[in-house]
Amino acid sequence: MNHLTKAMLWSRRSIELKPFAGYYDTLAHILYRMGYYEEAISTQQKAIEKAKAENMPTTNFEKELKKIKTKTL
């Protein structure tokens, strides 16, 4: 099992324990690096939804989503 796979598993576990916007953002980055672009996009969108629900700023999450969509992250 490589480092990215381990990171993905731990990131998913973090979300299970506490579905925090920042954890979704981290998972989206890992998925992107693994080449799972569609899942990275949906996960980053979830980060934005969670951030809004947590009354957090979404600007950085939205910038990252754009980079994921254009594959420039």
Which domain CATH number covers 46?
1.25.40.10
Q: What domain range is 38 assigned to? A: 3-69
Expressed in percent and rounded to 5, the helix, strand and coil fractions of the chain are: 80, 0, 20
Q: What pLDDT, on the 0 to 100 scale, is given for residue 1? A: 81
With cut-offs at 50, 70 and 90, classify the pLDDT of residue 2.
very high
Count how many domains the chain has. Answer: 1
> What's residue 16's pLDDT?
97
Buried b (16+ CB within 10 A) or exposed e, 18-50: eebbebbbbbbbbbbeeeeeeebbebbbbbbeb
pLDDT of 4-63, one tens digit each?
999 999 999 999 999 999 999 999 999 999 999 999 999 999 999 999 999 999 999 999
